[in-house]
A and B are shown apart, each in its own frame.
Chain A
Amino acid sequence: MGLFLGIGAYAVAATFLPKALSFGNPVFLAAAAVFTASTAVCAQERARAALALLRGWRDPASPAVDRLASASGAGIELAEGVSAEEALARAEAALGGLGLRQARRDDGVWARRNAWGALGSPVFHYALAGLFIFAGLGQLMKWEGVIGVPEGGVARDTPALYDPYTAGPLASHAAGRVIAVDDLDINHVHRDVERGPSPQVRLLVDGEEVRAQRVYPNRPLRYGSLSVHQLEYGIGAVLTVLGPEGEARGSAPAALHFDDLRPDGTLVVEASAEGRPAEEYAVVVAVPLDEEGGRYFRRVPEDPRVLVSFPGSGDPATERPREARVGERVALPGGSGWLVVEELGYQVWLFVVDDWTIPFIYAFLTVACVGAAVALLAPPRAAFVRHETADASAGVPARLVLVTRCRRVDPAFPGRARAAVERSVSRREDER
């Protein structure tokens, strides 16, 4: 209980801290591990008690029922002329009316209901422990990352191409997979709902297509434990450097995010243009977006052009942005060659996760909910009714004694059972 409260207090404080410092903190992880272990131990204890109850309640001659039969309980007076046998028969019927299954013993009536309900609590606690364990396993074994793929292009599913990329210490990244984006519908509509930018994604394993679908929120592409989610889209460009004679020296992609839109309506990227002769200047490519009424459209411009500049080159002519069309050459500083923006198209960023524990997490969550519902809403209840003969010396008349079990989860049960049995034996035979 103390640990439970401690973790709760820590969680409150941790909401004000960055995630890495709070819920990724070794102290929190250690406390969570101890909490998981204590939940498992608690589940084990509850399971032992529940199984004992199940076994004990199944057999009317069990020691558990014997204990109940001899326990003290509520005395219920009998109406005049009601025999012991008649009283027990009536009590049996009354308890049956409460939904309890009855069995007769020599010394009384044994009745019970929902014995299996005792399993609810251990099932709930086992499911929670399982959930924590598999969530922990997931953290150790999963990997996830963001990968950019140009429209109409492919990307190898390899850690080096992800940015960012995180992997648990036991994660393994399967080889031979390729992610392809055939097209991007920047405002896909499905069943009259705008799904936003939705790429048509294909997954290939060893060159063979294994999955293909349009991906949008709530509709990831799944393959085994791998799931591919649409995250973001932007503009992708391919920059090529040519030498003074027009010979190709290198080529590199550049990606522009719509979220980085500048007030002047341009998307800007400081690109790495492989093959350029010197590293002492930057290569900056800006793409002006289409605009209407002061609103910029998040799409590839209808008449695509770029503004290229080389800050730090020391040459005012090349430091100033120069406009160029796709495929048009822009002179590099010092006449050392040319830069060409070869292509301008959509770029899609996909969030890819490989976590085999997720179906287990779902299963444990479901089982936990069912367990809690059973424990709280269908608790086991039991009653034993015995007949006590009159003791004239003590002034005690003949009566029934009702012993019940289910005080905490259904505190009204003893009262209900007593009222039902009292009603049944309060009338004389001729009044019935």
Chain B
Amino acid sequence: MITAELVAMWAAVGAYALSSAGFIGGVVFGRGVLERTALTLAGAGFAAHTTGIAVRWVLTGHGPYLGFYEVASLLAWITVALLLWLAWRHRGLRVVGIVALPVAFLIMGGAMLVSRESEAISGALASVWLIIHVLFANLAYGGYVAAFMLAAAFLLRERGAGRAGDAGAGAGRAGDAAAPGDVGAAAAVAGGRLAGVLARLPGQEVIDELTFKFIGAGFVFQGVMLASGAIWANQAWGRYWGWDPIETWSLIAWGIYALYLHLRLTLGWSGTRAAWVAVIALPVIVFSLLGVPLVYDSIHGAYLYT
């Protein structure tokens, strides 16, 4: 069964690698067939990945939330799941695979290089709060990574629109009175293969709003994650908050997304400026989930890097 899990996981890594190449090639060479193939490969990799996670779940008797291998694998799985969902909702959004698949491939590749030894549920972990905490951490990450992909697509096309504007195309910007899709059309006018691909995206206003919605959902999910973590910590250790580095960084990440929401809802930011905040915030949440135990001596490190 270990072999089945390994075969499935490596198949997923391979599919994600090829899919990444496909998305990059599709954009660089402006070939739609490459993009479609890349999306199919991402789907195949996702199926293999799901199988691998399921096999391990059965073997270990617990979900994918203990140790770096399981946590990173789940984050990569969520990233690809979101890409597939976005592409299913709007065909043009499949182009965000150029961001999502390399990210998923790198996270997954990193996961495959560390110990895959199964960790038993210990007394401190045996709590329903663990499941709630991890579930909402992953939902929050999912919301944020989707927002990141959309914001990146927004900025790429905005850049194209800027070039089109420089070329005298008179393109409108998101947030102006321009109809959705005008910016994409302008980018296409500006020429270039990337512009052609980006022109297939939904209107900038739609992307901008979706980014906001994903961040809003992620913010609520992260709030539940923090609350459930506090309750769990108090049950397990007798303190609900201990300024552990991962707690602190998680709070900092939450604060950055709170800043995004304030900038948007109170100060009326939208479009490019808001998209930049969404892009800059993601590395912070990824660091708080995966990077903190590498830099600091954290109580959570025992669960991530064993």
Q: Which A residues are within 8 Å of any B CB, using their own CB?
A: 1, 4-5, 7-8, 11-12, 14-15, 19, 22-23, 135, 144, 191, 193-196, 198, 216-220, 227, 229, 351, 353, 358, 361-362, 365-366, 368-369, 372-373, 376-377, 408-409, 411-412
Contacts and interface: CB of A to CB of B under 8 A. Distances in A.
B264 interface: yes
B220 A369 contact: yes
Q: Is the interface of B mostly helix, strand, loop or mixed?
A: helix
Nearest to B263: A1
A361 B240 CA distance: 9
A369 B265 contact: no
B124 interface: yes
B64 to A, nearest CB: 18
Given A369-B223, A411-B209, A411-B270, A195 B126 contact: yes
Contacts of B248: 11, 14-15
A412 B205 CA distance: 8
B252 A11 contact: yes
B238 A229 contact: yes
Contact of B265 (A23, A135, A408): A408
A408 B264 contact: yes
A194 B122 contact: yes
Contacts of A377: 216-217, 220
B217 A376 contact: yes
Contacts of A196: 122-123
Closest 5 CB pairs of A and B: A376-B216, A195-B123, A365-B227, A217-B124, A229-B238
Contacts of A218: 123-124, 126-127, 129, 232, 235-236
Contacts of A368: 223, 227
B90 to A, nearest CB: 14
Contacts of B238: 144, 220, 227, 229, 351, 353
Contacts of A23: 243
Contact of A229 (B120, B129, B237): B237
B305 interface: no
20 contacts: A4-B255, A8-B252, A8-B256, A11-B248, A19-B243, A135-B241, A194-B122, A217-B124, A217-B126, A218-B236, A219-B235, A358-B240, A365-B223, A365-B230, A373-B220, A376-B261, A377-B220, A411-B205, A411-B208, A412-B209
B168 interface: no
B28 interface: no
A365 B255 CA distance: 15
Given A5-B259, A376-B216, 12 more contacts: A4-B255, A14-B243, A15-B248, A19-B243, A191-B126, A196-B123, A198-B123, A220-B238, A227-B234, A361-B230, A376-B217, A411-B209
A216 B129 CA distance: 16
Interface in B191-217: 205-206, 208-209, 212, 216-217
Given A8-B255, A369-B220, A15 B245 contact: yes
Contacts of A366: 227
A191 B61 CA distance: 13
Interface string B82-107: 00000000000000000000000000
Contacts of B127: 218
Contacts of B217: 376-377
Contacts of B212: 411
Nearest to B218: A376
B29 interface: no
Nearest to A407: B268
